[in-house]
Structure 1
Amino acid sequence: MQPYFLPYIGYFQLITACELFVVYDNIKYTKKGWINRNRMLRNGAEAMFSLPLQGAPDHLDIDQRVLEDSPGRHRWLAQLKGAYRHAPQFGVTLPLLERIAACDEVNLFRFLHNALLETCAHLGIDTPIRAASAVPADHGLKGQDRVLAICAALGARRYVNPIGGTELYSHTDFAQHGIDLRFLRARPLDYPQGGANAVPSLSIADVLMFNPLETVRGWVRTHYDLVQPQLT
């Protein structure tokens, strides 16, 4: 999986569902993805927050991108503080966000990797997280072929992907390599967000701000289904 900044709860459910979680560091950075940005709730509506990056050529990989070194580097933290200052679990969640912001790493991947480790520790997740470049596989491959190569290098017998990837991977191809392909489908969450209308699939920060930590830990462990795809 690509690394994301404070991703939605389904990302952490995926980590929980795995014995080892491999996160891409050596893959092209994409501006329109969720690598260095996410969504929060502000005044009852979704709003974006992001990690500002130094300008760089479009072809660079995630581990070659650098955070902007300026006073506004952690503007995202001030935004989240302002948006959730009245949330019921603000006092429990803010220390996590402050620990993430306190990381002095300017390399984008290493900062995101640390943020994932901090959040997983907060959620009680102990799944090992490994950078893809540390796996002895052919990283010149693309898409499904690269995933299969990484699985082979690790001796994996099951590969779990988010439900959105059902069109990207072939059950038959994985089965031919002795790998059980499954897709994780997060169950809908319904919790009060301090407004009239619920906004789904926001950053994990939103879930943590409005729900007791033990409740969120339970959702991370159990509030999803592993779906077996049809033969293709």
Structure 2
Amino acid sequence: MTAVAIMQPYLFPYIGYWQLLHAADCFVVYDDVNYINRGWINRNRILINDAPGLITLPLLQASQNRKIADIEIAPQAQWQRRLLRTLEMAYRKAPCFDQVFPLLEQILGHDERNLAAFLSQQLHTLARFMGLQTRIVTSSTVYRNDHLAAQERILDICRQERATRYINAQGGRALYEPSAFAQQGIDLRFIAMRPLPYRQRGEGFTPYLSIIDALMAVGPDGIGPHLAAYDL
């Protein structure tokens, strides 16, 4: 069985995103689709003073009329030091800070101005850090099918990868027709996270934060059970 998952690139995405990689043999970074304003492509949430706060990668001339692969990041001098300082202040007392912060410095120091390339490199780096063996490819460089749209394009990628299973997030249920996948011999599945809290600073547990928060708490050696806490 060959399982494929497809998703836009996100900045330090939450655990559910990484569960898609965990469940798939091939993960397609869907970078030749339109950018989404106020989404998760260039921002995410961390705990700042025990409350959720946004971190953002500043962009140049970002628009929902432009593809992710066509957008540039602002020069590093404008944001890199400030963002690293925010992360350091938020997590310097976290159990796994010494393991994780150097990785964040490496990712945010990557000399790449193209948004899609920067985020793809980030995904590769984090995947290796967490021990994920999934093959990661970018849609803009492999499939040459951006003349197709929606479900037909997803099916074409699955055909090119010879997929026997396509895995998508729960929010995509209304977007796909199981019969269309079945006709191609593809098992359509939707991934559902199982609750598996880890210890955060302060009281209670805030879910759906950036993977940074989980890694700072449990480190690369403890992240495995969280990546595997899902049902298909």
TM-score bin, normalised by smaller chain? over 0.9
- State the alpha-carbon separation in 1 of the partners of residues 143 and 216 from structure 2: 39
2:107 equivalent to 1:85 = no
Measure, in 1, the Cα distance between the counterparts of 2:142 and 2:220: 33
d(CA) in 2 for partners of 1:70, 1:103: 9
CA offsets per residue over residues 110-137 of structure 1, 9 Å max, x none?
1000100110010001211111123335
- Does 1:118 find its partner at 2:125? yes
Q: Quick check: 1:213 aligned with 2:224?
A: no
User: Which consecutive residues of structure 1, in runs of 5 or more, have no partner in the other structure?
Assistant: 227-232
Aligned with residue 202 of structure 2, among 195, 203, 216: 195
Q: What residue identity is the alignment partner of 2:117? A: R
Listed one character per residue, the Cα deviations across residues 8-35 of structure 1 (whole Å, up to 9, x for unaligned) are 0111111111111111121111112100
**Equivalent of 1:146, from 146, 153, 163?**
153
- 8 Å Cα contact 1:135-1:150 kept in structure 2: no
- What is residue 4 of structure 2 aligned with on the other side? none
1:218–1:57 CA distance, 2 compared to 1 (3 A): closer
Residue of structure 2 in register with 1:15 after alignment = 21
Q: Give the length in aligned residue pairs.
A: 225
* Structure 2 unaligned spans of 5+: 1-6
Matched, 1:184 2:191: yes
Percent of paired sites with the same residue: 44
Matches for 1:44-59 after TM superposition, within 5 Å:
44-59=50-65
Measure, in 2, the Cα distance between the counterparts of 1:95 and 1:70: 17
Q: TM-score, normalised by structure 2?
A: 0.92
Contact 2:36 2:63 in 1 (8 A): no
